[in-house]
């Protein structure tokens, strides 16, 4: 107990040094912190939901090697971000880092990109879970997954996650830990069953070299770049460890370590899952044109039969529910911290922590409500779901790079924390920022031709609206309202200077 108490004092001292009064319950350890980010990345969510996207855009070769490449670059980016997290272990995370390293304007931009990315992720994850639930219900009870029915399931999932996150960080911690073992067990079960089932398997040549693209993109490099977005969409959300830092013991080590390990183990498990699914796939066209609307479900049905397929769908659905729950936790901490600095309308309400649970309950329901609004257009257009996903990746991905860029710009003014990259910090930082620039360009390029209202890529429109909105809100209200507390040392120096005057 004395060791835990000492860690708690050190953690709180780090917050106080940043001018922040500790108010949240610090009940999460190193494994729990890692588990939150691992749950949010959730290869059984992104990898499964976007499996059909990968088959359409590049096929097996791009799905496998694109995963390896994006995994490696995400590990570089995540490590660079983890280094900055070690110095600033706060719930605000990315925007707090940007404020300290670049000033209020950078913080405002980063905060809005990050917040919209996080709530967009809630909408994308939970709507994806609703789609899988609809596929299961269709097989089990003849449920018709119309847009209206899917939206009804989506609302139920959102409400579940809002309720689970209202009970405090202890429940989030427990569910995230269960999620880790559920995902690893789920991947193992799926791959073993598919590989062990009787029947022919695809050749290694098919799995590792087959290129397929029916998106209308004729340039193979362009097509492969778009296909890599399957992995890029999946490797989002590892900043959850940073947002939970104020509720984590020994956060200066645990939060950065949690981020990096979540990326590492997600990359390894995801590679095994993708390769196993591709080896087992019986019919390329049949998988893409499945009546379930979920290509992985068709692979399960073809290889294992309807009964086992339904059981595996339940495994995937539960993993997706864990994922959405962890994402609500991360987003609510971000909204709570941003409100604490008067950046959101109605900030007084959203910056309150529940006195009994020491949990940002109001911020939880704010994030759930915004996610619901973001998903509403899906009732009228399938392209709207792609737009919601774009809000996620185009908010979060640039927001990851901004603190890394500002850390490079700060030079020797940046003092490395307990978790750091040593002499590799600057060269890896340059590589990480360059990677994000290239990735953002590919997010904004057309992903299918000919371009129609259904195939139009809403990502650049989304990014332009977010950037314009952030700029207008900054010059109109942000500069007057936004208030980041001074670091304790700076505040003390200012007080001494004021006294001398």
User: What confidence score (pLDDT) does residue 4 get?
Assistant: 40
351 φ, ψ (degrees, to nearest 5): -90, 5
- 3-state helix/strand/coil string of 372-436: HHHHHHHHCCCHHHHHHHHHHHHHHHHHHHHHHHHHHHHHHHCCCCCCCCHHHHHHHHHHHHHHH
Q: Is the peptide bond before 450 cis (omega within 30 degrees of 0)?
A: yes
155, exposed or middle or buried, with CB in 10 Å at 0-12, 13-18, 19+?
middle
Contact between residue 417 and residue 11 where contact means Cβ atoms under 8 Å apart:
no
User: What confidence score (pLDDT) does residue 252 get?
Assistant: 95
Arithmetic mean of pLDDT over the chain: 89
pLDDT in tens, 362-391: 999 999 999 999 888 878 776 666 667 667
Mean pLDDT of 258-280: 97
Measured in whole angstroms, the distance separating CA 461 from the mean position of its chain's CA atoms is 21
Structure tokens at 280: 């087992």
Contact between residue 33 and residue 241 where contact means Cβ atoms under 8 Å apart:
yes
User: What confidence score (pLDDT) does residue 39 get?
Assistant: 95
Q: What is the biggest distance separating any 2 CA atoms in the chain, rounded to whole angstroms?
A: 85
Checking if the pLDDT of 493 tops 50, the result is: no
Residue 163: CB atoms within 10 A of its CB come to 14
Q: How confident is the model at residue 454 (pLDDT cuts 50, 70, 90)?
A: confident
Helix, strand, or coil (residue 260) = helix
CA dist., res. 114 & res. 324, Å (int): 17
- Cβ within 8 Å of residue 469, ≥6 positions away: 112
Name which of 36-40, 145-149, 299-303, 404-408 the model is least confident about. 145-149
- Beta strands, E only, 310-377: none
CA dist., res. 358 & res. 138, Å (int): 41
Alpha-carbon distance values, 227 to 57, 63, 240, 486 (Å): 5, 7, 26, 44
Contact between residue 429 and residue 102 where contact means Cβ atoms under 8 Å apart:
no
User: What confidence score (pLDDT) does residue 501 get?
Assistant: 40
User: What confidence score (pLDDT) does residue 376 get?
Assistant: 87
Name which of 148-152, 217-221, 255-259, 434-438 the model is least confident about. 217-221
CA dist., res. 201 & res. 203, Å (int): 6
203, exposed or middle or buried, with CB in 10 Å at 0-12, 13-18, 19+?
exposed
Q: How confident is the model at residue 322 (pLDDT cuts 50, 70, 90)?
A: very high
Mean pLDDT of 295-310: 93
Backbone region of residue 452 per phi and psi (left: phi > 0; alpha: psi in -120 to 50; beta: other values): beta
User: What confidence score (pLDDT) does residue 494 get?
Assistant: 43
Checking if the pLDDT of 491 tops 50, the result is: no
CA dist., res. 178 & res. 99, Å (int): 35
Contact between residue 22 and residue 16 where contact means Cβ atoms under 8 Å apart:
yes
Sign of CA dihedral 482, 113, 70, 268: positive
């Amino acid at each position: 107990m004395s060791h835990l108490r000492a860690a708690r004092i050190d953690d709180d001292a780090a917050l106080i040094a940043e001018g922040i009064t500790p108010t949240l319950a610090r009940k999460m350890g190193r494994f729990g912190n890692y588990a939150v980010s691992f749950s949010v990345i959730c290869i059984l969510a992104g990898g499964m939901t976007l499996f059909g996207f990968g088959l359409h855009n590049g096929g097996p070769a791009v799905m496998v090697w694109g995963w390896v490449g994006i995994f490696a670059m995400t590990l570089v980016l995540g490590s660079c971000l983890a280094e900055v997290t070690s110095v600033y272990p706060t719930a605000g995370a990315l925007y707090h880092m940007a404020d300290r390293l670049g000033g209020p304007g950078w913080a405002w931009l980063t905060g809005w990109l990050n917040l919209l990315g996080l709530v967009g992720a809630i909408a994308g994850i939970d709507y994806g879970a609703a789609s899988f639930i609809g596929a299961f219900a269709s097989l089990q009870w003849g449920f018709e997954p119309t847009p209206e029915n899917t939206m009804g399931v989506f609302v139920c999932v959102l409400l579940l996650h809002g309720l689970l996150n209202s009970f405090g960080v202890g429940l989030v911690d427990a569910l995230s830990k269960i999620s880790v073992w559920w995902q690893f067990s789920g991947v193992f079960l799926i791959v073993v069953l598919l590989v062990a089932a009787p029947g022919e398997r695809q050749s290694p040549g098919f799995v590792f070299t087959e290129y397929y693209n029916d998106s209308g993109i004729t340039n193979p490099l362009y097509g492969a770049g778009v296909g890599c977005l399957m992995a890029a969409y999946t490797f989002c959300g590892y900043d959850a460890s940073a947002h939970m830092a104020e509720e984590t013991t020994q956060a200066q080590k645990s939060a950065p370590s949690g981020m990096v390990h979540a990326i590492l183990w997600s990359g390894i498990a995801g590679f095994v899952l993708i390769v196993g699914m591709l080896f087992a796939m019986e019919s390329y066209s049949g998988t893409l044109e499945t009546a379930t609307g979920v290509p992985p479900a068709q692979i399960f049905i073809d290889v294992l039969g309807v009964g086992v397929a339904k059981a595996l769908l339940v495994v995937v659905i539960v993993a997706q529910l864990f994922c959405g729950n962890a994402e609500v936790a991360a987003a609510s901490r971000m909204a709570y911290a941003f409100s604490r600095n008067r950046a959101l309308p109605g900030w007084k309400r959203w910056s309150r922590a529940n006195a009994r649970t020491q949990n940002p309950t109001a911020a939880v329901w704010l994030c759930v409500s915004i996610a619901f609004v973001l998903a509403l257009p899906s009732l009228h257009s399938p392209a709207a779901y792609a737009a919601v996903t774009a809000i996620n990746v185009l908010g979060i991905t640039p927001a990851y790079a901004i603190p890394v860029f500002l850390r490079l710009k700060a030079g020797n003014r940046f003092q490395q924390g307990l978790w750091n990259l040593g002499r590799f910090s600057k060269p890896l930082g340059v590589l990480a920022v360059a990677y994000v620039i290239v990735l953002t360009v590919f997010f904004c390029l057309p992903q299918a031709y000919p371009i129609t209202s259904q195939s139009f890529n809403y990502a650049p429109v989304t990014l332009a609206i977010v950037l314009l909105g952030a700029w207008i809100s900054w010059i109109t209200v942000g500069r007057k309202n936004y208030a980041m507390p001074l670091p304790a040392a700076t505040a003390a120096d200012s007080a001494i200077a004021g006294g001398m005057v």
